[in-house]
Amino acid sequence: MTAAMTTVSLVDVAGYLPGEPVPAAYYTEYPGAEDKLRDNPMFKVPPMRHHVAPGETNTDLVERAVAPLIERHGRDEIRAVDVLLVHSQLPDTPFVGAGTEVARRLGLKPRWLVDVANAGCASFVHMLELARQILTTTDARTALICNAQSAAGQLFTQSEVRRLAQAAIPGDGCGVGYLTTSAASPVLDVLTRHLVDYGGDMTAVLDDGRRYWEPGESQLRIGFTEAGVATVLERGNRLVPEVVADLCRRLELPTSAIDLLVTNQPNRTFLHNWRQALGLSAEQHADTFDSCGNLFGAAIPITLDRALRSGRVKEGDLVVLGGFAHAGDYAGAAAIRWGAVA
């Protein structure tokens, strides 16, 4: 089979949310610090989110998220995957990604194993593109892509960080996707952009000025400022509709042909503005923000999984995945014809 003849399909997705839902009161009833960003639309608090348990690792999250795939496709089929890509949003261990531990835990022996550090909240699209490229240019035939997010219950629950507006927005969880060289749910196209001019605009801050690995007492947080948030809002509002519309143009389809748009879930403002810019209704745009918060990289696969399990996606539907990362250094979109031969 040549690369030109190979069709790659996103055959299935699954998701996992740890623990019981954590209500907004966990943050809003906590004595708050003076924070000029508290009323910013970027930080409007969702009612619920989930937190990892103490000691729960990214590998634990992936193992639990993959369990439904094993149930539906068989343990032997999942263990035989040729490609494993893993993105961990808060690595458990310095120097070492979660990929090899995920492979060991699941009993995989992939020919291709990559821990993906970039593309943040849109890394599922990035990994989808990477997996598709490997499956169409090598003899690999199956891939497992995994997004584990564990920052909410660890980084954002620190005693001082918890007082800030940024803390109440994230949630934890894991989403995974299974791809094969088949025509089951073909990936029609993927369009991605690495916007290097915006690289480094998202920062982590320690108030005592030390590096994060140096000893000290201040707590690590995201370096949000009023000017920085305004910039991220402008970029995010623009980047996602642009990349989704450009993808549709490449497919020679209007954006109105999208049956379901699945994006990362940063806040209600972005979700509203994205679908409005693309001319889509709320019914055409999957939304898990109120029940899960901002799941970062895990948002796209978890939200797609919920849409599929609720019967929201029909055979032949055009499903478009889209999102942006960090302060705008990456944007991507992918189109899948769900459950239909290309």
- pLDDT tens per residue, range 42-58: 999 999 999 999 999 99
**Res 33: pLDDT:** 75
Cα distances (Å, whole numbers) of residue 204 to 10, 25, 210, 302: 34, 25, 11, 26
Give mean pLDDT, residues 297-322. 98
CATH superfamily of 188-337: Thiolase/Chalcone synthase (3.40.47.10)
Instruction: Indicate if the pLDDT at residue 336 is higher than 90.
Output: yes
Instruction: Indicate if the pLDDT at residue 1 is higher than 50.
Output: no
Cα distances (Å, whole numbers) of residue 272 to 1, 43, 176: 43, 14, 26
- Radius of gyration of the chain, Cα coordinates, nearest whole angstrom: 19
pLDDT digits (tens, 9 = 90+) for 185-224: 999 999 999 999 999 999 999 999 999 999 999 999 999 9
Q: Is CATH 3.40.1000.10 what the domain over 3-182 is classified as, yes or no?
A: no
Q: What is the Cα–Cα distance from 84 to 146, expressed in whole angstroms?
A: 8
Strands 112-115 and 83-89: what pairing?
parallel
Q: What is the Cα–Cα distance from 179 to 135, expressed in whole angstroms?
A: 9
pLDDT digits (tens, 9 = 90+) for 102-128: 999 999 999 999 999 999 999 999 999
Distance of CA 324 to the CA centre of its chain: 10
Instruction: Indicate if the pLDDT at residue 164 is higher than 80.
Output: yes
Q: What is the Cα–Cα distance from 238 to 328, expressed in whole angstroms?
A: 10
Closest to 119 measured CA to CA, from 24, 37, 199: 199
Q: What is the Cα–Cα distance from 305 to 89, expressed in whole angstroms?
A: 19
- pLDDT > 70: percent of the chain: 98
**Res 36: pLDDT:** 87
CB < 8 Å & 24+ apart, contacts of 302-310: 302/15, 302/17, 302/173, 302/174, 302/175, 303/175, 303/262, 303/263, 303/265, 304/13, 304/175, 304/262, 305/13, 305/14, 305/15, 305/175, 306/15, 307/260, 307/262, 308/13
Mean pLDDT over all residues of the chain?
96
Instruction: Indicate if the pLDDT at residue 340 is higher than 80.
Output: no
**Res 342: pLDDT:** 45
Start-to-end CA span in the chain (Å): 16
- pLDDT > 90: percent of the chain: 95
270 phi/psi in degrees, rounded to 5: -60, -45
69: alpha, beta or left, given left = phi > 0 and alpha = psi -120 to 50?
A: alpha
pLDDT digits (tens, 9 = 90+) for 18-51: 999 999 999 999 887 778 899 999 999 999 999 9
pLDDT-derived band at 341, boundaries 50, 70, 90: low
**What is the H or E stretch that residue 305 is in?**
helix 299-309
Q: Where in the chain is the domain with CATH 3.40.47.10?
A: 3-182, 188-337
Give mean pLDDT, residues 165-177. 97
Instruction: Indicate if the pLDDT at residue 229 is higher than 90.
Output: yes
